[in-house]
Structure 1
Amino acid sequence: MIPRIPTATFRIQLRGGVDFAALTLRLDQIAGLGVSHLYLSPIFAATEGSTHGYDITDPSRIDETLGGAEGFEALAHAARSRGLGIILDIVPNHTAFSVQNPWLADVLTHGRASPRARHFDIDWQAGPLILPWLPEPFEVMLTQGAFQIRDGHWCMGDLAVPLAPGTDVTDDLIALHEAQHWRLVHAALERDSITHRRFFNVTDLIGMRVEDPPVFDDTHTLIIDLVRRDLVQGLRIDHIDGLADPADYLARLSQALPDTPLWVEKILTGDEALPPEWPVAGTTGYEAGRLIARLLTRPQGLDDLDRHWRQVTGITGGFDQALIQAKHDVLDHELAAERRQLARLAGAALDPLPDVQPGPEALREAVTALLVAVPRYRSYVTDQGTPPDDRALIAQVAEDAAQGLRCDRVLRMLAQVWADPATPAQMAFVTRLQQVSGALLAKAQEDTAGFRWTRYLPANEVGAEPDHATVTEAEANAILARRGAGDMVLTSSHDSKRSEDSRARMIAASHLPDQMLALDEAAAALPQAQGVPDAWRWYMVQSALAMHGADRAADRLAQHVEKAMREAKETSFWTNPDLTAEAALADLGHAMLDGWHRNPPAALTALLQRGEALMLAQLVFKAVMPGFPDIYQGTQGPFLALTDPDNRHPVPWDALAADRGVKAQWTQRLLHWRRERQEQLSDADAQVVITPDGINLTRRSGDWRAVARLVLPGAAAVDDGAAEILDWTGPDGSRVLLSEAGAIDN
């Protein structure tokens, strides 16, 4: 019997050589770990050569490159025979903005007359659908003879865009282009001229209007069929905050599949909780990983690191200042098209109001200020009303946004519209504002400020708050009390900025700040450090510590810093990279790793030893805390990795099968223990105690209790009469253990 709520999941990234048949060959190994469910990345037809599957071209078909419908059915049956259920990652928010998308191809051919036109979130009021696919301006490419007309398509190299029926009777390419339902433009115009809703700033993904029941039906028929045939036992919903109305979507999906658990990929900020009306089992667990990292971080050590970082970099501000600047930068560049559309929608929303007459710049200023002031991903205002918490949020956003404006009249009126939309035009503005605010926070915090404000990288993680890197005992217990048995506990995923073991190594710096400072001072003395900005040197010292000893560490660090510097968007950019600066930072990382390999300094050894203890503590806390653990592929053993795509490199299945290391053995033992203790853990209280000597996490149900402990060097031994299930002592005297006491009612 497969449980409705997993005891543990095993996350698999399909593609990249992993299809249904290849995964089937590994099912015995996965089942042997003790998990109850596979947790699969999207399986639907995606663009040719897709490495991740989120660029879906047809949600009504299973990708043939993975094995098609027959291959998936065979995998599901093979999994069930081993006691494994399947949780499927679905992507309702978007599909691929590509001619390979058959629904979009029909829209390109027939425009608004296409039966699929309403499926896509396209701003037809702005004119023909903009296709920013040209490497040079249209007129330049026309002069170069880059375009040809073949078989009813406008062709350029490998690109073939379908023409409207009957329009290819003219030899005048300019007139032919003007006759289409689309316009090909220079790629640079994606910044501010696109006419479709994107996923964040990814122009090659187009938003879907799943709030429209026929669109929901067309995009979910296959998903619902797979669940009703019992080939899939749960759904993970990607980017729930991108939808026009998440609550309505979840209600519709839950109504279609009333007994199927749903998990939402939702980032909660501060003390934000999931809307209580959402019919979900829980979140995908970013907040759990954040809590574990905060528990493991030592406040005094973080203070020492903070002082050093500020001294060497000259940075005086907090992360909030870095985030505000990043939001402005992203709105000026990556999300300029979204702001431009919002300003137009804002004008339409205010048009019937007699006491305000805004100009274009006043609208732009007000929209900018409101977006920058939103402290979380979004509010959830719908045409059914405004939740009380959101009404309070909007009022606070308006107050914060009004500060410093010479005139806040337009802003105040837009805030009133946001809180109480009364017309279709006002609802259209509010809907899009809520969608854009999430995209802005994600791009500004995770992918901009998170690479600029480099104080302590373990806290610069998806779902984390860089300026709240520690946690008090009271805060931790309040968070634990809110968690339920259906919440995932995630410490690594394909979205993680650093893998769980790399993060644990970096957390060791807060335990041993003097050793970390010694590594930085040594790095500053290297010839390769000359000309490297201090903030980036500090970033590299942390990253090198995270990757030391990993396969091809220097090359992978070089690839990572290219991404990091371009995402920071200060001196190097994806559209205009500073190759010299990127190479200099990579050379520094290579020199550090080479020196550490030849002659490991004592400071490095101490940090690695403490890091090993923290890796195991993280694993034990993950297994014991409320919710259920998700094991990302490969992390059942040591797993050192940085940002995507580094964290999606092939899984060394055979090496993992032979791994007899502590983490590999403990992962298996903990997952089997969880399965045996499912009844106790499902309703057990959770209590954490933080002392200078370490951390205790206790789960208690009746007379039974289990205690996960991190005991730091020098702590006095404590015997509470519990039986030790797992116990490890590191070379530096750190100790990690799990003990259990009391009656077990089987």
Structure 2
Amino acid sequence: MRIPTATYRIQFHAGFKFEAAKQIVTYLSELGITDLYASPIFKARKGSTHGYDVVDSNVLNPELGTPEEFAALRSELQAKNMGWVQDIVPNHMAYDSENLLLMDVLENGQDSDYFDYFDINWEHHYENLKGRVLAPLMGSFYGEALENGEIQLSYDESGLSVNYYSSKLPVRIESYAKFITHNLGHLARELGGKHNPDFVKFLGILYLLKNVPSETKGKERYDQIAFVKGLVWELYTNNPAVKDFIDKNIEFFNGEKGNPESFNSLDSLLSEQFYRLSFWKVGAEEINYRRFFTVNELISVKVEEIKVFHKNHALIFQMVEEGKFTGLRIDHIDGLYDPTEYLTRLREKTGDTYISVEKILEQKENLPEYWPIQGTSGYDYLIYVNGIFCQRENEEKFSEIYSRFTRLNTPYEQLFYEKKRLIVERNLAGDVDNLAQLLKTVSGQSRHGNDFTRFGLQKALSEVLALFPVYRTYINQEGLRESDRFYIKEVMEKAKQQVPPLVKELNFIEKLLLLEEEENLTTEQKELRRHFVMKLQQMTGPLMAKGIEDTLFYVYNRLISLNEVGGNPGEFGISLADFHEFNKNQQETWPHKMNATATHDTKRGEDVRARINVLSEIPEEWEKQVKAWSEINKSKKKKLKNRMVPDVNDEYFFYQTLVGTYPFEDIKDTDFNERMKNFVIKAVREAKVHTAWLRPDSDYEDAYMAFVDAVLEDEQFIKEMLPFQKMVAQYGIFNSLSQTLLKATASGVPDVYQGTEFWDLSHVDPDNRRPVDFDLRISVLRDIKEKAQKDIPNLIGELLSTREDARIKLFLVNRILETRKANQQLFQEGDYIPLEVTGKFKDNVVAFARKYGDKVAIALTPRFLTSVVQPGEDPLGEAVWNDTKIELPPGMPSVWKDAIAAQTIQANGKVLIGEALKHFPVALLINSSC
């Protein structure tokens, strides 16, 4: 198996194609990267900026380049001995006209070859959804869209289609008869009736249309449909009378705006289709297909079906077999019906290919050890490394500051429950309704559940879902494991306390989840019960994501650097002991997992978090600044009825964001203001307090954006804010350098998100997918390497004096990754050994060793530097660090070389921090035998 030494995440799109990636391969190799880590490269919806809206998983995305250009990129990587880790999307595809498999289903219903390809409930309990799939693609209510002429019937060589702006949906072949028979007498008169061969063909078409559904199946049916469509098109193109007839019928069916009755025929035709067009908001409360979270435009795939699994992965398996993909990253593993079975099948097909999964783990939650993979894609590491830069001792002070400023006192645990309940009742109401209906069917098969009403079951189920503490459990046909039992028992106990009147319903659900099946059940009944359990498990992940990461994390703003994917901002940071314990466990169980500090899904850039964490060290100064800023900006707020905009919680969020993202350079003549406005509007919509995606409040949003504009254009405020912001940013630089070293030397594979070898001051997606200036990075790396060969001390002095330009971070990334390359086994297989630090600043240093045989490396980084050096001072030398030192375990080497500053250090059982950090703010010591 090829284990990456370091990966580099590339976001491919029409603005950054295979050819563009080819141009930076040499740069990535020289930086120290061993494996390209690619966003989805399969055919996606036209104009996709991320690639997760796949329309054909077996074709390379033509917007990224030709197969030849892909091959050229792959050849360039091979020439540099670099691998390719490919992000794949097994859970969903785009609900889009370009998705030909889905369009086939919408055209042919149960006669489609792909009828079971998508996760659709064709037997939904709502009559208008039975045998149909909801198509919530419209921007207004169906009736309004219809009578406004926004839904249009059209005709071309592919046949009849229903069009709503860019959406184009097929018309089932049976409905052609309704279209063709309209005003057919007129065509008969025009052509001379049965004496005209073309009219006879038309009659033949009608005969075929009436017999296609009942008399033909499979390939024969498809051939018959193709024949009918071809015949109609031939008549349309060759006979002017037929063309005029069809065009006039199209005009008739499309009605006349202002005349509601004129749309009756189109309405009737639409009612016959295998889909039901609707307002997009309907999907929140009535849905009969599984989506990606709450995104209507992404329809889930039933990859648990073996034929779907093979078809969906055909090109992927080919690429793996041919050595073009050397690793896979599985998107949204928790969305699958049976992740364990999926990963087992994937491993069987891909052999010893490197596999990581996007899995969000709560703190202290373990990745299922029975999964045949190398580990997660790194969110868990991000939470731990970020957490140790939050000063836990100041939690109470920060809680008081937050409460005083915002007047909010609701405990985090209560908000956790409330926001998940909000999503259950609004954004995922339709999904919960479907699950409750399934539960009602299950309960009706039991004498102990026969009297449960769907209303009662749904209330009980909602409590269970809202209280679930992790993304999901992994019960499958093989049963449940002790970890699953633990979470289920915990949830059910809390639910019974929460809603005592529903204890009987909850007891019934508990037995189902614990697989305590009643005697005398048939095989079908047992299968239905297991199916309910597995569908519930598919539900808990999206609920956690939408309720916590996409709602609560924009509401609970005590310290927003902690509001990150997989995080728990209710916990004020992470202890150093827990950080070391986490890394030790990873080395023992998942030594080749990925370590990330920024991804395409993180809520803010890695250096934004590094800055905001500094605030945790200086609560009194932070509160003083916030009060002053709020006073200056009071007049910029707008009163709307009984509220001021922005409210104090959103204002507090804004100030933290400003400190974290304000660039080192002047913001004049930049897009900073627009980026900030886009971010805060996204944030308040996600918060769902004053506005929301489902119910936007334009008054609140406009007033908030006006506030942002006014603040950023106020020279007095900027003058007041900048000294504090710049001070925080300077300390943030040292935090960033520390987390960069830790990520690259701890247990696991370091992943660099595109462009983050420079300062990463991005907001959430899509801001973090802005273009990267690779030409500048290539030039800087070349210059740094040339200077490093001549005089490293002089280079380091230059980089420290110009640290704001980010060259210092790229220098560090390069030095560490080159060291990893030269000592691959040490960092991949070496033991993780926490090191004891003593002296005046013992709590301000993070240190650990990696040991493999005779090779040893020590990673040494500072933290909480506001209590070590004054603003403007560098944390370097013995005068700063005093008697602080690392106590080395017995048997450790006595001579070390710093791989970053290239200095030699003598150690007699201890390493003086002041000596190790004499020239550079972090150190990576390698014993001289390496």
TM-score, normalised relative to structure 2: 0.77
One of 898, 907, 923 as aligned partner of 1:724: 898
Distance in 1 (CA, whole Å) between partners of 2:883 and 2:56 is 60
1:258 deviation in Å?
A: 1.2
Distance in 1 (CA, whole Å) between partners of 2:857 and 2:149 is 76
- CA offsets per residue over residues 71-115 of structure 1, 9 Å max, x none? 222211111112211000000000011121000000011001111
Correspondence for 1:520: 626
**Partner of 1:235: helix, strand, or coil?**
strand
- CA offsets per residue over residues 697-740 of structure 1, 9 Å max, x none? 332334523122216325425466643333699xx999732131
Establish whether residue 497 from structure 1 lines up as the match of residue 649 from structure 2.
no
Distance in 2 (CA, whole Å) between partners of 1:120 and 1:136 is 26
Q: Are the aligned partners of 1:710 and 1:734 in contact in 2 as well (CA < 8 Å)?
A: no
**Partner of 1:83: helix, strand, or coil?**
coil
Q: Are the aligned partners of 2:741 and 2:859 in contact in 1 as well (CA < 8 Å)?
A: no
**Partner of 2:413: helix, strand, or coil?**
helix
Establish whether residue 183 from structure 1 lines up as the match of residue 276 from structure 2.
yes
**Partner of 2:696: helix, strand, or coil?**
coil
Distance in 1 (CA, whole Å) between partners of 2:39 and 2:672 is 26
1:515 deviation in Å?
A: 2.9
Which residue identity lines up with residue 136 of structure 1 in the other structure? Answer: S
- CA offsets per residue over residues 382-401 of structure 1, 9 Å max, x none? 12211122122211211111
Correspondence for 1:575: 694
Correspondence for 2:678: 559
CA gap of 1:142–1:553, structure 2 versus 1, over 3 A, is: closer
Establish whether residue 165 from structure 1 lines up as the match of residue 169 from structure 2.
no
Distance in 1 (CA, whole Å) between partners of 2:577 and 2:452 is 48
Distance in 2 (CA, whole Å) between partners of 1:56 and 1:514 is 50
**Partner of 1:167: helix, strand, or coil?**
helix
- CA offsets per residue over residues 402-458 of structure 1, 9 Å max, x none? 113123101110121112166222122111110110000010110000000000111
One of 614, 637, 645 as aligned partner of 2:758: 637
1:494 deviation in Å?
A: 0.8
Distance in 1 (CA, whole Å) between partners of 2:619 and 2:708 is 20
Establish whether residue 533 from structure 1 lines up as the match of residue 647 from structure 2.
yes
| Structure that is richer in helix per residue | 2
- CA offsets per residue over residues 360-397 of structure 1, 9 Å max, x none? 21011111011012100001111221112212221121
Structure 2 counterparts to residues 528-677 of structure 1, below 5 A: 528=634, 530=637, 531=644, 532-549=646-663, 552-590=671-709, 592-593=711-712, 595=715, 597-598=718-719, 601-659=722-780, 661-677=807-823
**Partner of 2:325: helix, strand, or coil?**
coil
Correspondence for 1:60: 58
**Partner of 1:175: helix, strand, or coil?**
helix
Q: Are the aligned partners of 2:629 and 2:721 in contact in 1 as well (CA < 8 Å)?
A: no
Correspondence for 2:139: 135
Percent identity, aligned pairs only, is: 29
Structure 2 counterparts to residues 123-522 of structure 1, below 5 A: 123-126=121-124, 127=130, 128-151=132-155, 152-170=160-178, 171=182, 172-356=265-449, 357-405=451-499, 406-420=501-515, 423-484=526-587, 485-522=591-628
Deviates more, 1:641-650 or 1:153-162: 153-162
Correspondence for 1:737: 922
Calculate the aligned-residue CA RMSD, in Å: 2.2
Q: Are the aligned partners of 1:386 and 1:419 in contact in 2 as well (CA < 8 Å)?
A: yes
Q: Are the aligned partners of 1:519 and 1:604 in contact in 2 as well (CA < 8 Å)?
A: no
TM-score, normalised relative to structure 1: 0.95
Which residue identity lines up with residue 514 of structure 2 in the other structure? Answer: A
Q: Are the aligned partners of 2:4 and 2:35 in contact in 1 as well (CA < 8 Å)?
A: yes
Q: Are the aligned partners of 1:210 and 1:216 in contact in 2 as well (CA < 8 Å)?
A: yes
CA gap of 1:144–1:577, structure 2 versus 1, over 3 A, is: closer
Correspondence for 2:225: none
Deviates more, 1:446-455 or 1:396-405: 396-405
**Partner of 2:923: helix, strand, or coil?**
strand
Distance in 2 (CA, whole Å) between partners of 1:33 and 1:665 is 9
Q: Are the aligned partners of 1:636 and 1:663 in contact in 2 as well (CA < 8 Å)?
A: yes
Distance in 2 (CA, whole Å) between partners of 1:344 and 1:217 is 31
Distance in 2 (CA, whole Å) between partners of 1:718 and 1:401 is 50
**Partner of 1:185: helix, strand, or coil?**
strand
Structure 1 unaligned blocks of 5 or more: none
1:539 deviation in Å?
A: 0.6
Q: Are the aligned partners of 1:235 and 1:263 in contact in 2 as well (CA < 8 Å)?
A: yes
- CA offsets per residue over residues 458-502 of structure 1, 9 Å max, x none? 110011111123222332222111113311110001101011011
Deviates more, 1:36-45 or 1:415-424: 415-424
Which residue identity lines up with residue 98 of structure 1 in the other structure? Answer: D
Deviates more, 1:507-516 or 1:609-618: 507-516
Distance in 2 (CA, whole Å) between partners of 1:678 and 1:148 is 61
1:161 deviation in Å?
A: 1.2
Q: Are the aligned partners of 1:129 and 1:196 in contact in 2 as well (CA < 8 Å)?
A: yes
**Partner of 2:304: helix, strand, or coil?**
coil
Which residue identity lines up with residue 497 of structure 2 in the other structure? Answer: Q
Correspondence for 1:114: 112
Deviates more, 1:135-144 or 1:603-612: 135-144
Distance in 1 (CA, whole Å) between partners of 2:152 and 2:924 is 72
1:593 deviation in Å?
A: 4.7
Deviates more, 1:186-195 or 1:32-41: 186-195
Distance in 1 (CA, whole Å) between partners of 2:123 and 2:928 is 68
Q: Are the aligned partners of 2:594 and 2:750 in contact in 1 as well (CA < 8 Å)?
A: yes
**Partner of 2:174: helix, strand, or coil?**
coil
1:588 deviation in Å?
A: 4.3
Which residue identity lines up with residue 48 of structure 1 in the other structure? Answer: K
Distance in 1 (CA, whole Å) between partners of 2:170 and 2:881 is 71
**Partner of 2:276: helix, strand, or coil?**
strand
Correspondence for 2:23: 25
Distance in 1 (CA, whole Å) between partners of 2:153 and 2:702 is 43
Distance in 1 (CA, whole Å) between partners of 2:601 and 2:461 is 29
Aligned length: 741
- CA offsets per residue over residues 489-543 of structure 1, 9 Å max, x none? 1000110101101110111111222332232112111235543322112111110
Distance in 1 (CA, whole Å) between partners of 2:653 and 2:836 is 32
**Partner of 2:59: helix, strand, or coil?**
strand
Deviates more, 1:376-385 or 1:168-177: 168-177
CA gap of 1:688–1:432, structure 2 versus 1, over 3 A, is: farther
1:139 deviation in Å?
A: 2.8
Correspondence for 1:7: 5
Q: Are the aligned partners of 1:235 and 1:262 in contact in 2 as well (CA < 8 Å)?
A: yes
- CA offsets per residue over residues 611-665 of structure 1, 9 Å max, x none? 1110111111111111111000000111210110011100111222233621011
**Partner of 2:8: helix, strand, or coil?**
strand
Structure 2 counterparts to residues 675-694 of structure 1, below 5 A: 675-686=821-832, 687=834, 691-694=842-845
Distance in 1 (CA, whole Å) between partners of 2:810 and 2:436 is 54
Deviates more, 1:376-385 or 1:467-476: 467-476
**Partner of 2:530: helix, strand, or coil?**
helix
Deviates more, 1:370-379 or 1:180-189: 180-189
Q: Are the aligned partners of 1:16 and 1:650 in contact in 2 as well (CA < 8 Å)?
A: no
**Partner of 1:296: helix, strand, or coil?**
coil
Correspondence for 1:42: 40
Distance in 1 (CA, whole Å) between partners of 2:120 and 2:374 is 32
